Amino acid sequence: MSPTPESESGSPSEPGLDGQVWFITGASRGLGAEFASAALDAGHAVVATGRDTSAVAGAVDESEDRMVAELDVTEPAAAESATEAAVDRFGRIDVLVNNAGVSYKGFFEETGMAEIRDQLEVNLFGAMHVTRAVLPVMRDQRYGHVISISSGAGLSGFAFSSAYAVSKFGLEGWMDALHDEVEPFGIDTTVVNPGWFRTTLTAEESMPFTDPAIDDYDERRAEQMEWWENQDGQQPNDPAKLADALVEIAGEDDPPRRFIAGEDAIELAEGKVAELQEQIDAYRGLSTSMAYDDA
């Protein structure tokens, strides 16, 4: 995708705006705020969105190229309104970053269906609502870039995060299919798998714990909760560096369909690749015996 889309006259489609127009969800804290700041610093315009606009305004420095818009990603009408406001202000949307998310922590048996549905509503359906609102703009433009923030949990599920893994595995499958659907319109897609970054992920509003319910899990639950509660400030990766990397990737003519961010995330991905290969090899003979005998 071209970093500075032009109109038919050869000048930027919005007077005085030479960079891209970024639309970022969940920009009130954490990675979302970092993405917004990095894009602004790089000379791009940013539509920074969140449920609490005052929190967004406080997290992202004021700029003539910064627009703050109220957006609850679980509400399709809100996604449409925020998209319309962005186009009214800047004339286009070049980069969409689906970043808003929540991470329920708890064992599957102790996680209620209401909590699982809420997890999906934010992480998966929320990204779908916003993308559905933005895609008509990008199709009309015949260019754009949809970036969705996944997780290591989108590559490999792990205990005490089953609902979160469901949401991220779903996000990845959807994005994989979406790529083939929108590429003919000049729209790129990228899934980002961040490793362990030093953000507010472990804050209560970002990482709620499910209510304990089953005695058999008591010991392991206590260990998990203690571990997660002690993670603030211990994460090895710098969110500002991920934000800069995202700006770089969004400026490429041929951006990657997947970006694995952090040495720890690469280690996880390589382990998953090796595990899959081992599983394939272990039953290759049985797996390849499924064809009809007369084939």
| Catalytic residue ranges | 150, 164, 168
Q: Can you tell me the distance from the alpha carbon of 237 to that of 265, in angstroms, rounded to the nearest whole number?
A: 10
Q: Can you tell me the distance from the alpha carbon of 150 to that of 172, in angstroms, rounded to the nearest whole number?
A: 7
- For residue 106, which amino acid is it? G
- Give the closest residue to 31 by CA, choosing from 206, 226, 264, 249: 206
- Give the closest residue to 141 by CA, choosing from 236, 33, 1: 1
What contacts 93, CB < 8 A, 6 or more positions away?
21, 23, 47, 83, 86, 87, 134, 137, 138, 144
Query: What are the structure tokens assigned to 196, written together?
Result: 């362990």
Half-sphere exposure of 18 (CA within 13 A, CB side): 2
